[in-house]
């Protein structure tokens, strides 16, 4: 098989635990997902959607290791209807995340994390804080795995057009491909980072704090999955 066709097959091939079109469903038992959440919050599935109601910090990880090239898409909404967790802030995400200081890997080391944001400082990961800091900033960071979370000036956005709107459904896309990490919103590329030390495998997770999110229609295409990482579960 010519190399270009082999690459296309790998990129477009879906995960064994996903549907044939790359869809990753949310089932009531959340078997494919790992919830790390501070006390008082709730993560449930309703009408096929993931519902995160949080009071003090939450990350929901997809349990399967992804291998670049990776593309992740999903629809997400920050709910504001006057509920106790309704706050317009923090439609955030990690991708290609792992734990360099934990040889067992991210999923196996979950007991070391409570859902508090500082628990994730030691990750090596790409991260976007979309509408963070009370919906005043949208930022991209490449965590180094050493506790450093550098922020480049061009990755610190504050214009109103790049912040959150309540009850709006956003179509988001995360990419790790050809040494570049990208974050897209509704067909517009917001961040593109050429990584001098690309993260070539890791985990993907939704992240929020003191907010109410609804997430639907997750699709993932990748060159590989947990079959290349025996400790993924």
CATH number where 177 lies? 2.60.120.560
Residue 69 CB contacts under 8 Å (≥ 6 apart), including other chains: 10, 11, 175, 176, 177, 178, 222, 223
Tell me if 233 is assigned to some domain: no
Cβ-based neighbour number of residue 56 at 10 Å: 15
Dist. CA 219–CA 202, nearest whole Å: 16
Q: Strand, coil or helix: what is 211?
A: coil
Q: Are 91 and 189 in contact (CB under 8 A)?
A: no
State how many domains the chain has: 1
Tell me if 194 is assigned to some domain: yes
Q: In which domain, by residue range, is 97 found?
A: 3-228
Tell me the whole-structure pTM to 2 decimals. Answer: 0.89
Tens digit of pLDDT per residue, the chain (233 long)? 343 333 333 333 334 456 556 789 999 999 999 999 999 999 999 999 999 999 999 999 999 999 999 999 999 999 999 999 999 999 999 999 999 999 899 999 999 999 999 999 999 999 999 999 999 999 999 999 999 999 999 999 999 999 999 999 999 999 999 999 999 999 999 999 999 999 999 999 999 999 999 999 999 999 875 433 333 32
């Amino acid at each position: 098989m010519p190399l270009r066709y082999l690459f296309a097959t790998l990129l477009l091939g879906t995960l064994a635990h996903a549907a044939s079109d790359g869809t990753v469903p949310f089932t009531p038992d959340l078997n494919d997902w790992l919830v790390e959440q501070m006390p008082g919050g709730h993560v449930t599935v309703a009408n096929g959607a993931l519902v995160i109601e949080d009071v003090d910090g939450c990350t929901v990880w997809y349990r399967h290791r992804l291998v670049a090239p990776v593309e992740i898409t999903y629809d997400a909404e920050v709910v504001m209807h006057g509920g106790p967790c309704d706050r317009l802030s923090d439609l955030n995400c990690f991708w290609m995340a792992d734990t360099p200081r934990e040889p067992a890997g991210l999923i196996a080391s979950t007991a070391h994390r409570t859902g508090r944001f500082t628990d994730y400082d030691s990750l090596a990961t790409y991260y976007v804080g979309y509408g963070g800091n009370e919906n005043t900033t949208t930022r991209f960071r490449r965590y180094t795995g050493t506790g450093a979370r550098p922020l480049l000036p061009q990755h610190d956005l504050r214009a109103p057009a790049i912040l959150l709107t309540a009850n709006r459904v956003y179509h988001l896309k995360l990419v790790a491909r050809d040494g570049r990490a990208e974050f897209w919103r509704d067909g517009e590329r917001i961040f593109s980072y050429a990584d001098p030390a690309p993260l070539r495998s890791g985990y993907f997770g939704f992240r929020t704090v003191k907010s109410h999110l609804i997430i639907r229609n997750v699709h993932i295409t990748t060159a590989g999955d947990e079959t290349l990482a025996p400790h993924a579960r």
